[in-house]
Structures are given as C-alpha cells and as structure tokens.
Amino acid sequence: MADFTLDAALHYADIRAVLELNGTPIGPLDLLTAAQARSLGAILVTANLGKFKRVKGLKVLAWK
C-alpha cells in the first residue's frame, strides 16, 4: 500500500474541482481512490467504469 502523499492530495483537489465544475461529482472515497491511482500512474481496476472514466488522466480497466 502506498502512502497518500501531497502529490495525491493535489490530484484529489484537481479531480474534485473539475468534476464539481462539470456537475458530475463522485463520492469522497472514490475521489481518494482516483487521486491515489492517478498520482502513481497506476491502473484503477473497477466494476464502476462510468464514474471513473470522467476523471481525466486516470487509467481505468474494467473488472469483469
């Protein structure tokens, strides 16, 4: 497990601001998950593609 760094926090703030400005916010835990994955350049594997595909720069893979 990776630490939640300042870089991840900055990604969190950016993702939250963009999604809220677009009127498409996601929940706080999903924001944390997306921010951590994006800050690490990791692929987020999820069965909930819809909400995470709205996060620019986040690599997402469908869990089947």
Tell me the domain boundaries of the chain: 6-62
Q: Which two tokens stand for residue 55?
A: 């996060």
pLDDT per position as a tens digit, 3-59: 999 999 999 999 999 999 999 999 999 999 999 999 999 999 999 999 999 999 999
> What is this structure's pTM?
0.93
Question: Do strands 59-62 and 43-46 pair parallel, antiparallel, or not at all (unpaired)?
Answer: parallel
pLDDT per position as a tens digit, 42-53: 999 999 999 999
Residue type present at position 7: D
Rounded distance, CA 6 to CA 47, Å? 28
Between 3.40.640.10, 3.60.10.10, 3.40.50.1010, 3.30.56.10, what CATH number should domain 6-62 receive? Answer: 3.40.50.1010
The radius of gyration of the chain's CA atoms, rounded to the nearest angstrom, is 11
Contacts of 35 (CB under 8 A, 6+ apart): 8, 9, 11, 12, 15
